[in-house]
């Protein structure tokens, strides 16, 4: 009989050469590097958010694979493609060198061709359960962005619609077509 070794967030952070991965209930989940379109959409969304957030001192926008500890014992560390943490939640000492010890306010995931629907669903569920206030799932194949909020139905935005930061990033809005152009 073999026993699985459950890792903690601290174990994951100290691992050498771990490459792109997340920790889900103590198990390391390896991920392939992102493709070109995925990378382009990730940086575009991050740039649009940062251009709005930074001059207004609303908080911090983080890039791909920044780790957030969503639950403990067993630990889950997710690394959204883009994330936002509001100014009020940043510790007085500033951004952590390690993983953020809590969930972001906004988590953005860009779907890759090899992503499975159930995996994306699980990430959304993990984010919302951990306290993420807004999740955007960006689908390059359908050119749609699905928004999720706690205790609310998902909303699918298409070309011609406007993506907003709602009450998480008040005043932020961008056309869906600008995200995909």
The neighbour count for residue 24, using CB atoms within 10 Å, is: 19
Q: How far apart are CA 34 and CA 54, in angstroms?
A: 26
> What is the mean pLDDT of the segment spanning 56-85?
94
The full set of domains in the chain, from first to last, is: 33-180 (3.90.1570.10)
The answer for residues whose C-beta is within 8 angstroms of residue 74's C-beta and 6 or more apart is 6, 25, 26
Distance of CA 169 to the CA centre of its chain: 15
Tokens found for residue 152: 């609310």
Residue 17: pLDDT over 50: yes
DSSP summary character for residue 78:
E
Residue 67: pLDDT over 60: yes
Tokens found for residue 15: 């691992």
> What is the mean pLDDT of the segment spanning 86-104?
94
pTM of the model: 0.90
Tokens found for residue 146: 């699905």
Model pLDDT for residues 113-147, shown as the tens digit of each residue: 888 889 999 999 999 999 999 999 999 999 999 99
Q: How far apart are CA 10 and CA 178, in angstroms?
A: 39
């Amino acid at each position: 009989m073999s026993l699985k070794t459950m890792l903690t967030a601290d174990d994951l952070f100290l691992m050498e050469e771990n490459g792109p991965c997340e920790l889900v209930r103590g198990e390391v989940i390896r991920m392939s590097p992102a493709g070109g379109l995925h990378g382009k959409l990730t940086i575009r969304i991050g740039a649009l958010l940062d251009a709005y957030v930074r001059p207004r001192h609303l908080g911090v926008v983080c890039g791909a694979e920044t780790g957030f500890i969503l639950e403990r014992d067993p630990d889950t560390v997710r690394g959204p493609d883009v994330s936002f943490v509001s100014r009020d939640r940043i510790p007085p000492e500033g951004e952590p060198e390690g993983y953020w010890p809590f969930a972001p306010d906004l988590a953005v995931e860009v779907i890759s061709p090899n992503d499975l629907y159930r995996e994306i669903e699980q990430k959304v569920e993990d984010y919302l359960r951990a306290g993420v206030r807004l999740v955007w799932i960006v689908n390059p194949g359908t050119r749609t962005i699905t928004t999720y909020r706690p205790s609310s139905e998902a909303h699918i935005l298409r070309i011609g619609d406007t993506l907003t930061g709602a009450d998480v990033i008040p005043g932020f809005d961008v056309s869906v077509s600008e995200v995909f152009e």
